[in-house]
Structure 1
């Protein structure tokens, strides 16, 4: 009886392994031909199948990163970065699947922005600023370093700390954003974020990261959270269950922009600090394309110079004043600026 059971299982396994019409077990002689390995947004994607053995191909269907795409399609309304082209090729009674990787770049040169300092305010020089955001006219700040990480509400004009809680010693605080009276705060390498009541700072819940393994910056558009992890990727999160729904990759016309850090949503665009560059990239959230850059390097020379002084990090938009506030890690000043395209 026991032997018979094993024989039936073996026969069933053999049947399931050999039936079906998809051939993925052996290396195919077929391959995808493409007009260019590196494409730009707006280019025409020309695809064909390289068939050195002259197999009898009856049909071919293509997908790009899991979505159906036609040959000679114009690359509009897609996100940038690494893409996988998949071809399902019907050969006789079998279907062979072959893939090819491509990179899609942005098709515009970023606009260079200059800035004007409108006001300068005091800032706590001990704050290792990681996140900065206005909500209902109030400024909220997240700071980093283990045993020193904090969540704060700050009077931006005087620098006074209006409300403060310390994170547990094992957490390294990172970016924050506020949506629907909830503060979302990231930590760096613990793969965990926290949700607080904006009025009381009561911790409501915590959440774990998904594909992204680190927390750097976070912002929101009123519906969706956008999270960076120190790479060229920005993840889109559902604010209700904090799951990562998708991501964009940030590219210029020349290449990817890694080290994306603190994020801010301003007038339909994502403004992202580029870590250790003292600059900000202006990103199209639908494609990931960099549309503008701001060089804030000169601001660092205007703050107190001391051994713990670190890079620019912290950007917050004040919609009532229509100005941007920027500071840095262990800076003693908070700058209110206006930007203008050159």
Structure 2
């Protein structure tokens, strides 16, 4: 995301965490692999051992299939109409990608990344994930919409809070062992959210994954932490950021 007039991105980042009682973990990198430092990462996921990445910025947004260990882009498809690409998710064999402010997303073939369908939704699109049945969509506010993929109708809304206070700027989402994880835009924090109550039960601080020099270079270019992929087959979490030079594997905290 970048700031634009009339967007949810205009507000200042929330001063999270609101409570020192909420558990905080600083994940340690187990492995790291090269990541395209020009990729404005908006969505990241692993499906059947393949790494998919959705990138942003108008005229530069893509859906990609990327080789994990080399960072090589095997397949890439531009986002339709040069739209600002956002979060991605797979459910029922279909690969979805949101766009920021157009209220429309694309559906891709998992094998070829060919666009096979489209979906519509109200408001902004930021992050997207799936639990195997439903989709979860963030829009930069403190609310996450639960969506039925068949028709893209909203079935429930989750109000996300920590210490009783709403946490806005929820961005990239991932379903991790029954929890919703969300990057908080413009911060180095990932919220661990109870999807039933919306309460943030813990935080991950990813600020130490990059060196100080790497963080400085990325931030001066507009980069920030964003990108969470959980591989259920191997029980590992992959983390990166917009314009980050590395993709990291970290242990799943208890």
**What is the match of residue 337 of structure 1?**
250
Is the aligned partner of 1:250 residue 2:160?
Answer: yes
After superposition, the CA RMSD in angstroms is 1.7
SS in 1 for 2:211: helix
| Whole-angstrom CA distance in 2 between matches of 1:257 and 1:152 | 30
Any residues of structure 2 matched to 1:238-317 within 5 Å, and which?
238-301=148-211, 303=214, 305=217, 307-317=220-230
Residues 268 and 228 of structure 1, relative CA distance in 2, 3 Å threshold: same
Which has the higher relative contact order, 1 or 2, with Cα contacts under 8 A spaced 6 or more apart? 2
Any residues of structure 2 matched to 1:144-155 within 5 Å, and which?
144-155=56-67
Is the aligned partner of 1:227 residue 2:131?
Answer: no
- Given that 2:45 and 2:88 are in contact with CA atoms closer than 8 Å, whether structure 1 keeps it comes out as yes
- Given that 2:223 and 2:241 are in contact with CA atoms closer than 8 Å, whether structure 1 keeps it comes out as yes
Give the ranges of 4+ consecutive aligned residues of structure 1 lying more than 3 Å apart after TM superposition. Answer: none
Unaligned regions of 5+ residues in structure 1, if any?
Answer: 1-107
Query: Rg: which structure is higher?
Result: 1
| Whole-angstrom CA distance in 2 between matches of 1:123 and 1:114 | 21
| Whole-angstrom CA distance in 2 between matches of 1:271 and 1:326 | 11
**How much does 1:235 deviate?**
0.1
Is the aligned partner of 1:140 residue 2:44?
Answer: no
**How much does 1:116 deviate?**
1.7
**What is the match of residue 86 of structure 2?**
174
Instruction: Normalising by structure 1, report the TM-score.
Output: 0.65
- Given that 1:147 and 1:168 are in contact with CA atoms closer than 8 Å, whether structure 2 keeps it comes out as no
| Whole-angstrom CA distance in 2 between matches of 1:114 and 1:329 | 19
- Given that 2:28 and 2:209 are in contact with CA atoms closer than 8 Å, whether structure 1 keeps it comes out as no
SS in 2 for 1:125: coil
**How much does 1:333 deviate?**
0.7
Is the aligned partner of 1:194 residue 2:106?
Answer: yes
**What is the match of residue 20 of structure 1?**
none
- Given that 2:235 and 2:252 are in contact with CA atoms closer than 8 Å, whether structure 1 keeps it comes out as no
**How much does 1:195 deviate?**
1.0
- Given that 2:80 and 2:106 are in contact with CA atoms closer than 8 Å, whether structure 1 keeps it comes out as no
**What is the match of residue 319 of structure 1?**
232
SS in 1 for 2:28: strand
**What is the match of residue 8 of structure 2?**
none
| Whole-angstrom CA distance in 2 between matches of 1:128 and 1:139 | 16
**How much does 1:169 deviate?**
4.7
- Given that 1:131 and 1:314 are in contact with CA atoms closer than 8 Å, whether structure 2 keeps it comes out as yes
Deviations 1:115-134 (A, max 9, x none): 12100100011100000000
Unaligned regions of 5+ residues in structure 2, if any?
Answer: 1-19
SS in 2 for 1:294: strand
- Given that 1:114 and 1:339 are in contact with CA atoms closer than 8 Å, whether structure 2 keeps it comes out as no
- Given that 1:109 and 1:291 are in contact with CA atoms closer than 8 Å, whether structure 2 keeps it comes out as no
Aligned length: 232
| Whole-angstrom CA distance in 2 between matches of 1:142 and 1:255 | 30
| Whole-angstrom CA distance in 2 between matches of 1:220 and 1:168 | 22
